[in-house]
Structure 1
């Protein structure tokens, strides 16, 4: 359905200006921007059917709590879980905060809606053996040696440094060269220093020796086959192939390597505050979920091994 059948030109301008602000000023990650754009578009699609006509500015200005509840009920009927609904509300409140700042609409009716309690699902970590195998045997596929070395280096950063995939792919030579630790730019543009073990530096050095491209000091270090910046999707596809080759579960993803980093550090007696700093979590409560994973692993071992279990 064409956009002019969904919403007016003015609504489209509001939408685009909000997304531009999120990208240029708030510097949200690409994944968050995509999710927020999708959340707003879902609302606009819903309103077309709910109102029976393309969305006008007056519609966005006059939405009531009843309208918002109808939208959330619609999402839930389509299978959305509490976490997805809570994120949608966060995105839409951001949109209305932008409209209010510009003097175009108020968020009062939306602020009357409380977000559902998020379903707490434990991150799925790999075993230490599987995580090491992904990295040490990551060159088993039939591909160019420099590409295999590149992907091994990226996975080593996710597991050995606890990096998000986007953080690993945003690294530049200047973030690495001459530093005792990596300079990582995380969510919201926050910079942190992450110490890494020697095998990670060696994996990066091996990739740089073999790579046919030489990025500048402030260019993305990891390059695609044609020389452009490496995209996260290619690393995800690589791990998908390795999962199949090694017989690992679908939960073995690049982000699972980051979860494994935190889980294995905690299991080895790592300090929770230090792990929070290494992961770049703004709140300790976000890091504390790994204590539940560790407890779950202990209970699982107890049930398997204790004679009275």
Structure 2
């Protein structure tokens, strides 16, 4: 159901299934009996609060606890639907997530990170690959999973690129000439055949490039440059959004470029831009 109907990612599906097992294990002790569909559809708010208290006691933070309760609701809704019953879930407030602002990299830092990651690579073609990938993340605002899932048939890149994001949603993003040139340089040097249906970005042994490999390369370059630990591949997407907004982009256009389902997800970048302006004022104004 998660994969086919809700079109959730494999990672989300694994996390939700793991939560369902944790709930069942908890209820077998809490209720003193093996859980049944009838038990699950008759749970009360007190049962869910007890489960949440157990998970918080195990060190779960507010954001992770909120995700856990979202998975619990999805599982209980699924059970009720399988039993042909109404999905009347116990009312329980999810933990409030702390409102944190994205930490974008400065434009110069984003470009320096892409160049330094390439400079530290073991082979010239890997250097070209890493530089091209990071420029794509910053220049087009892609998630790293979206970039790594691109097939080689998108090369050579034009002025736009169709990207498949979360839950299979597609969107069009603009491609800067510098990004297209960097990817063309990588493709020309890549020692592995780039068949149309093969991944565009390849690992050292020719398989699909792993996101963990990219994160480790970025971490090494970040240390070399003395940049904050918060500057990750995903932070380049935040930088893309923040810099576009500072340059005059409207929220609706930015929402489309980022592939956000809700405008509220995009609005957080207005707070980032305001925070930046306050920092500039505090630093520069003589009476700040």
**Structure 2 length as normaliser, TM-score?**
0.91
User: Residue 79 of structure 1 is aligned with which of 59, 65, 87?
Assistant: 59
| Total equivalences in the alignment | 288
> Could you list the per-position Cα deviations for residues 209-235 of structure 1 after superposition, in whole angstroms to 9, with x for gaps in the alignment?
111112321232111122221121111
**How many angstroms apart in 1 are the aligned matches of 2:266 and 2:45?**
34
- After superposing the two structures, state which structure 1 stretch, 171-180 or 279-288, moved more: 171-180
**How many angstroms apart in 1 are the aligned matches of 2:252 and 2:140?**
16
Aligned to 1:298: 277
Q: Tell me, yes or no, if the aligned pair for 2:40 and 2:79 is still in contact at 8 Å.
A: no
SS at match of 2:125: helix
SS at match of 1:122: coil
SS at match of 1:23: coil
Alignment of 1:67 with 2:47, yes or no, is yes
Aligned to 2:119: 140
Q: Offset of 1:54 from its aligned partner?
A: 5.5
Q: Offset of 1:178 from its aligned partner?
A: 6.6
**How many angstroms apart in 1 are the aligned matches of 2:134 and 2:10?**
20
Alignment of 1:308 with 2:268, yes or no, is no
Aligned to 1:149: 128
Aligned to 1:31: 11
Structure 1 pair 70/104, CA: closer, same or farther in 2 (3 Å)? farther
Alignment of 1:286 with 2:265, yes or no, is yes
Alignment of 1:44 with 2:24, yes or no, is yes
Question: Pairwise CA RMSD of aligned residues?
Answer: 2.1
SS at match of 1:183: strand
SS at match of 2:3: helix
**How many angstroms apart in 1 are the aligned matches of 2:131 and 2:262?**
30
| Structure 1: unaligned runs, 5 residues or longer | 1-20
| Structure 2: unaligned runs, 5 residues or longer | none
SS at match of 1:252: coil
Q: Offset of 1:185 from its aligned partner?
A: 0.3
User: Residue 101 of structure 2 is aligned with which of 118, 122, 125?
Assistant: 122
**Structure 1 length as normaliser, TM-score?**
0.85
Q: Tell me, yes or no, if the aligned pair for 1:96 and 1:105 is still in contact at 8 Å.
A: no
